[in-house]
Amino acid sequence: MNSQKRFNNETTRFLLQKIGHRNVFLLFATVFVMSLLDLAGIAIIFPSLQVVTQPDAAEKILAVIGVTSTALLELTHRQLSVALGVGLALFYMVKTFFQTALTKTQSRLLARFTADLTNDIVSHVLNARYSTFQETPVSQIAGTANSNTVHASLVLNALMQIGNESLLLIFLLFGFFIFQPFLALGALVLSLLTGYFLYVTVIRRSSKLGTAQNHIENIRYRLLFSIAYAIRDIKIMGLDGLFSARNNRVSHDYAELAWRYNLNNALPRLLTELFALLAIVAASLAIVFFASSFDKAGPLLGVAAVAALRVAPALGRIFSAVNTFKFSRPFVNRLIDLRTSLANAAVSRQDDNLSFNHSIELKNVGFRYGDTQILNNVCIELKRGESIGIVGSSGAGKTTLLDLFTGLQQTTEGRFLCDGVIFDPFTSRSMQKFIGYVPQTITLLDDTIAFNVSFEETPDYERVMRVLKIANLENFIASLPDGIETQVGENGIKLSGGQRQRIGIARALYRNPKILVFDEATSSLDTLTEAELTLEIEKLRSQTSVVIVAHRLSTVIACDRIYVLSDGKIESSGTHSELLLTSETYKKLYASQQGMEHDKEIS
Ligand SMILES: Nc1ncnc2c1ncn2[C@@H]1O[C@H](COP(=O)(O)OP(=O)(O)OP(=O)(O)O)[C@@H](O)[C@H]1O
Ligand SMILES: [Mg+2]
């Protein structure tokens, strides 16, 4: 209970701190003024009707509120009724105007709060280290940023409602206490009992419902993302029925929780009103049976009924808001957890102003995933203007090595030197600027070719054309009616694998990198296209150093130095011809590929 309470406070504190003191006050004030206006709206109807229906009521009411103006008393009943009618109409118009303005302020505040929270999460996401995304699926992050933030504003709104209605209730009860202390005490006890009853029967369960709903929402997002990622496989292998059934199950579970929550939300109001009415009936019966005269008890009962009818809805709203708070809180807590873990994984990049004039060296670099050593004692040197190749079997650690070199992952052992100065690619801004990276699997955005190359809203078209030419896409672009403005579809679905790779290459070149890093970046190209591309890249060598990871040895044969990676260690290094003499692994690799080439030629 204690930890739950602490967590309640934590949720509340987080929300209040996020929206800011000023806005909390503004929000509370709007909610409060709205209820006051509502209360005033109800309060003036009864006396007004009395005045219209009973000619002598005006005098009595004016006397009660202490108005003795003779001018008012001299008005005829008809005049008074008309004045009252006009007055009421005006009051309601002003009230509606104010309430509209307040609703606008309130909705805007809450909507902006949700948007700010989403922004906050997204910027934390962008700032978090890459390894975070290996632990937390993107679907979960998207779900949390999208729907949990909405729950945050629901919780905040619920808190405002609870505070505001409680305040009004305290006023009501206090006023009531002055006139009718016993009745007020009775009402208080009854309210507390109702609250306890509702908490035990309904509200307490909402927390579990919220947790379950959040869980199912995660599953829903994951499923939708999986369908998007695997749509080709689903189609080819006819898995649509299977995915549809899975989706059905998830949607069904979701619906189950949704109606339960809606019922839980309605019950507090319904039950509170029922209890209030039952209390009035019980009180009436008690009066009929026990009171000495109805004349005395009658007005008392009237007051009790009015009080109950005012108090009951307010109580109902409080309980319903508590219910929303309980239900939505797990969503907010998940949001807080995600935000905390992202914030803990934040990477701060430093403007280290490195200049790569001579060389970058990796000295005894190592890397572990938990207890598994992936790379060990790796020593590599890249001189300016050089090209180096890295070869090795699948799973040897080539991509991981590039991840360290490009600063995507942080090394667990060893160090990096740039022109003899120690630096860490993981935190270096300069290194980000140096590198043009073409990954093993290119990700294209659902946008134009120009945007996919430049990542800029207004790209330098000449430069885009130049890099597309180097990437051997000139003829292809010329054949497109929309040229570089052609939309490539989701993840470049409208392009071939090789075209996608070449757009990836153009993207890396667009930034005029000092170091071009290729991870199997030409594996989807035919040998002729690859050879042409290699030739183009060769021409850039005066400004650009190149690191190439490849399975196909022909891709790295011309490199100044080739490193053979085996089981996370550099087994040997040298030029192609040197390695053929010194490295058994390389020799075997070469022999097997020669054989394949030979077979290809024959067939
Ligand atoms: N997030 C991770 N957690 C744990 N192990 C991982 C993770 N990512 C990769 N590995 C492991 O690290 C090893 C090296 O992977 P890496 O991707 O660097 O291989 P590679 O040499 O690039 O292989 P390929 O030629 O198939 O692309 C593999 O055994 C892989 O299973
Ligand atoms: Mg790889």
We report the CATH number of the domain holding residue 268 as: 1.20.1560.10
Cβ 506 vs Cβ 425: under 8 Å = no
Is residue 447 located within the same domain as residue 559?
A: yes
d(CA 10, CA 339): 14
Beta strands in 462-557 (DSSP E): 515-519, 545-549
Cβ 330 vs Cβ 207: under 8 Å = yes
Residues sharing a CB contact under 8 Å with residue 462, sequence separation 6 or more, in sequence order:
none
Residues sharing a CB contact under 8 Å with residue 387, sequence separation 6 or more, in sequence order:
541, 545, 546, 547, 548, 558, 559, 560
Residues of the chain with pLDDT under 70: 1-8, 46, 55, 57-75, 291-300, 302-304, 306-307, 595-603
Please check whether residue 564 lies inside any domain of the structure.
yes
Ligand 2 centre from 596 Cα, in Å?
21
Ligand 2 centre from 375 Cα, in Å?
13
For residue 509, what is the domain's CATH number? 3.40.50.300
Is residue 113 located within the same domain as residue 132?
A: no
Please check whether residue 2 lies inside any domain of the structure.
no
Q: Which of 118, 138, 169 is the last residue of a domain?
A: 118
Is residue 396 located within the same domain as residue 526?
A: yes
Is residue 416 located within the same domain as residue 443?
A: yes
Q: Of ligand 1's atoms, which has the minimum distance to the CA of residue 396?
A: 21
Is residue 139 located within the same domain as residue 283?
A: yes
Is residue 327 located within the same domain as residue 368?
A: no
Q: Of ligand 1's atoms, which has the minimum distance to the CA of residue 400?
A: 18
- 311, two tokens: 């108090």
Cβ 453 vs Cβ 506: under 8 Å = yes
d(CA 548, CA 389): 5
Cβ 351 vs Cβ 359: under 8 Å = no
Strands 569-574 and 561-566: what pairing?
antiparallel
Of 206, 198, 223, 201, nearest to 330 (Cα)? 206
Q: Which of 391, 400, 405, 406 should be mutated for ligand 1, with most atoms under 8 A from CB?
A: 400
**Least distant ligand from the CA of 397:** 1
Alpha helices (H) along 291-347:
294-344
Cβ 429 vs Cβ 349: under 8 Å = yes
Is residue 267 located within the same domain as residue 217?
A: yes
Query: In the prediction, which pLDDT does 1 show?
Result: 43
Query: In the prediction, which pLDDT does 307 show?
Result: 66
Please check whether residue 3 lies inside any domain of the structure.
no
Ligand 2 centre from 564 Cα, in Å?
14
Query: In the prediction, which pLDDT does 299 show?
Result: 63
d(CA 116, CA 408): 28
Q: How many domains does the chain contain in total?
A: 3
What domain range includes position 275?
A: 128-347
Q: Which of 347, 381, 407 is the last residue of a domain?
A: 347
Is residue 289 located within the same domain as residue 401?
A: no
Cβ 358 vs Cβ 381: under 8 Å = no
Is residue 99 located within the same domain as residue 70?
A: yes
Ligand 1 centre from 128 Cα, in Å?
21
Residues with CB under 6 A from ligand 1: 134, 369, 372, 374, 392, 394-400, 440
Of 403, 393, 268, 404, nearest to 327 (Cα)? 268
Is residue 109 located within the same domain as residue 144?
A: no
Phi and psi torsions of 561, nearest 5°: -150, 140
DSSP state of 523: T
d(CA 264, CA 328): 13
pLDDT digits 0-9 by tens, 77-108? 777 778 888 888 898 899 899 889 988 998 99
Torsion of CA 256, 258, 260, 265, to 10 degrees: 180
Give the angle subtended at the CA of 554 by the CAs of 548 and 557, to the nearest 5°.
65
Q: Which of 292, 326, 347 is the last residue of a domain?
A: 347
Q: Which of 375, 378, 391, 399 should be mutated for ligand 1, with most atoms under 8 A from CB?
A: 399
Is residue 302 located within the same domain as residue 207?
A: yes
Instruction: Using DSSP, state whether 161 is helix, strand or coil.
Output: helix
Ligand 1 atom 29: the closest Cα is on which residue? Answer: 395
Is residue 267 located within the same domain as residue 327?
A: yes
